[in-house]
Each structure stands twice: as structure tokens, then as C-alpha cells.
Amino acid sequence: MSQMSQNGRRRVVITGVGMVSPLGNDPETSWQNLVAGESGAGPITHFDAADYSVRFACELKDFEPTTWMERKQARRMDKFSQMALSAARMAEADSGIDIASEPDRVGAAVATGIGGLYAFEDCFQQLLERGPDRTSPFSIIQIIPNMAAAWVSMELGTKGPLATETTACAASNMAIGDGLDAIRLGRAEVMLCGGTEAPITRVSIAGFSAMRALSQRNDDPKRGSRPFDADRDGFVMGEAGAVLVLEELEHARARGARIYAELLGYGVSSDAQHVTEPDPSGLSPARAMTMAFADAGIEPSQVGYINAHGTSTPVGDAAETRVLKIALGEDNAYRTPVSSTKGATGHTLGAAGAVEAIFTIFAVQRGTLPPTINYETTDPECDLDYIPNESRPAEIEIGASNSFGFGGHNACVVVRRWDEAA
């Protein structure tokens, strides 16, 4: 029989994690570098950026997809799918789940903001240089956004629900929410949920630069991403893949799984405001947070840590500060530690929510709050406790993670430190 919460719903726990990020090619290395205050930023090496106005990003280091898949298979995938499958295999191994024993009860939801940009650029270049009849037959299946989730499902053998969220920078938080709902509704016992993004390409850097969304600190890349700092001038592009194994509690207990944390709640809303700018009132994003708190059955005062969206843009960080004051209540907002780990990872777009959910889980599990690095100058519009520059020991029970995307997509997830007696 399924383990029910006090409100009669199936309880969902996290039993495995996998990640490749600018801070490391596994979750533990990424976490250790994060809490040590390291930055993943550096000059762009993926292409010749000499003529670009922005010439730095947060790239993966020494990522080798053939660690997790056959070389022939890797060649048929865009990088965003390679990263997703690598993270998913890592999470599967970490959880110890036997997918083959019940494939119909295991699903996947893997998000991306954009999809196969590398393949898109290569396909278009081939079209221009060689003509339409010489285009690779693998181009479309490398480009389309659902293929990261599809590869995860095909390679791991999941036959339950399969979904792809493409809601910009809120996408992987929404994928986690999809997984939570699927298990609560009894459509699956296990869901592999997360996100992936490989956006450090010519088109992406040029396009985001033209929007003036990116930091221009070419002379000092490691200090470019500076969330909530008064001198922030835009985000730093990052790439990552991250997957969490969500599991119905009794299912996890029956197989003796190690449990990282409980996934308590999820909230989602839309701004209906602007293609890039957030709701200036803060009310719509705050509604996603309050919905997540209500779904979790908690009061705002119980939240011990917020992993903020915090992209390092002038408008976005000030807006999120207002959001936090609305959602938490002003007194609670000033008491609640907040950090943006994008100071270290850069903004990984559709992967950000999954990366940051794992960091939030580690924060509550390990009693260490990650810092907001490069925080040097106070901004009067950003006046909360942003855990500046150094990680902080803190025994907390509940953490929340925000993700807000272009077009007004807002999502928040809430996790609780695991207590077997709870």
C-alpha cells in the first residue's frame, strides 16, 4: 500500500541524483566546488568568439559523453541529449533502481529551454555549403527538444509517462512538478525528472548578447555572474544536465532505497506581462511560491532556505527580491537565508531548475547553505540575506527553489530534509 501524507496523497521522495555542470561532471564535485566558492566561468572554447561582444561563459570541463554511452550513439545526439542521458544514467546508478523489473511504472520528464542548438547550426551550415540533398538524416532528431527525454526513456527502458517541458528557464522545475504529479496520481511509481541545456553556441551567444542579457565582463569572467550585487550587468551563459529520481515513498522503502529528501510541494503561475521582463509587481511569481507552500502543507515561516532564480540581471534580481517579500511576508523574508548559485554555475537556462533543486536538496540534507559569490556592493533594492561569498552551516528542515522563465513562466519546488520517523 502507498504511504500517504496527512492530506491523503502519495508521498514522493528523491532517491537518486545525477549532474554534469560547469563545476564538475558529477553532483558531488559540483557541490564541493559550489560550497568552496568556486566559479565555473572562463573564456569560451566551444567556438572562436574573438569577434563577439561576449567572449566568456560557464562551460563544462572535460565532459566525455562516452563515459555513459557508446561513441556511435553519442554521435547521433546533440550535446543537450548527451548531457541529459549522462545525468540520467548517473541518477539511475545512484538510486539503485531496477527499471527493467517494472518499466511500465517508471517514467521520465526531461526539460530544455531550446533544444539542439549545435545540431541546428551544423544543419544550416551544411545546407548553405552543400545544398539540401546533403543534409544529415540525423539533423531533425538531434534538434527537436523532446529528444533528450526520448533518449533517456529509450536507453533506460522507461515505459511510463514521458514528457518534455520547454518553458524557458522554468522548464526543469516544471519537469520536476510533472514527475511529482505523475506519482501522486498513481501514473508512475518512479519518475526521472530534470533538465538539460547546451546553449554556448554562436547563435545563442550572439542572440542573447543582442538582447543585452549577458554580462560584458570579458576581462574578468569569474566575477561576471554576481547575483543581487549592485554592479551586476547581466547573466553568464552556462550549460548543464541534471536529473533526479523521484519515487513513491513506500516503493522506495520496500527496496531499501537511500532517501535524500522528500519533495513536498510545487507551484506554478504565469505573468501575462512581457516576453522577457518579469511582473514588476511581483504578485504572479509570488503566487507560484505561495502555491508551492500550500501544496507542501507548510507556512512561509517554516522555509529555512531559498535557492533564488537570481540570474544577475539588473531588473530580474530586484524583482525577485520583491517576490520573496510578498511570498514569505516581509519579516520572514529578512530572516530567511537566500542564495543564487548562478554566481558559480552561470545561467543554465532549461537545466537551471534541476541543477538548483539538487543543490537545495544537498543544502537541507547536509546542513550547509551555498553562497552567492561575487557579492561585493549592496543594492538598496536587494536588501535580503543573500549568504554573501561564503557557505554557511545551518540546520534547516525545508528549502525552496525558484525558477522564472522568459514569457512569464514561474515555478517553485519545496523539499524537506528526510526524517524516517516523519
Q: Identical fold at 13-254 and 265-417?
A: yes
Question: In this predicted model, what pLDDT tens digit does every residue of 256-283 receive, in sequence order?
Answer: 999 999 999 999 999 988 988 888 888 9
Domains in the chain: boundaries = 13-254, 265-417
Count of helices and strands (H, E) across the chain: 14, 14
CATH number of 265-417: 3.40.47.10
Q: Band of the pLDDT at 413, cuts 50, 70, 90?
A: very high
Enter the DSSP assignment of 408. T
> Is it the case that residue 199 has pLDDT exceeding 60?
yes
Average pLDDT over the chain, rounded to an integer: 96
| Over residues 120-125, mean pLDDT | 94
Contact 76, 122 (CB under 8 A): no
Top-confidence residue, 103 or 4: 103
CATH architecture of 13-254: 3-Layer(aba) Sandwich (3.40)
Q: What is the pLDDT of residue 1?
A: 36
**Over 60: is that where the pLDDT of 6 sits?**
no
* Mean pLDDT on 227-233: 98
Confidence band for 105, pLDDT divided at 50, 70 and 90: very high
Q: 293: Cβ–Cβ under 8 A, 6 or more apart, which residues?
A: 265, 267, 299, 300, 303, 327, 400, 414
Q: Cβ neighbours of residue 17 under 8 Å, at least 6 residues apart?
A: 27, 90, 91, 94, 242, 243, 244, 245, 260, 358, 361
Pairwise CA distance, residues 285 & 290, whole Å: 9
Give me the residues paired with residue 403 across strands: 411
Greatest extent of the chain over all pairs of C-alpha atoms, in Å: 65
Cβ atoms 56, 42 nearer than 8 A: yes
Interval 353-363 mean pLDDT: 98
Which residues have a catalytic role annotated? 169, 309, 347
Mean pLDDT of 244-251: 98
- Considering the entire predicted model, what is its pTM? 0.96
Question: pLDDT, tens digit, for every residue of 140-171?
Answer: 999 999 999 999 999 999 999 999 999 999 99
Given this model, what pLDDT does residue 2 score? 46
| Residue 143 contacts residue 76 (beta carbons within 8 Å) | no
* 148 membership: H or E segment, kind and range: helix 147-156
Distance between CA atoms of residues 286 and 99, nearest Å: 37
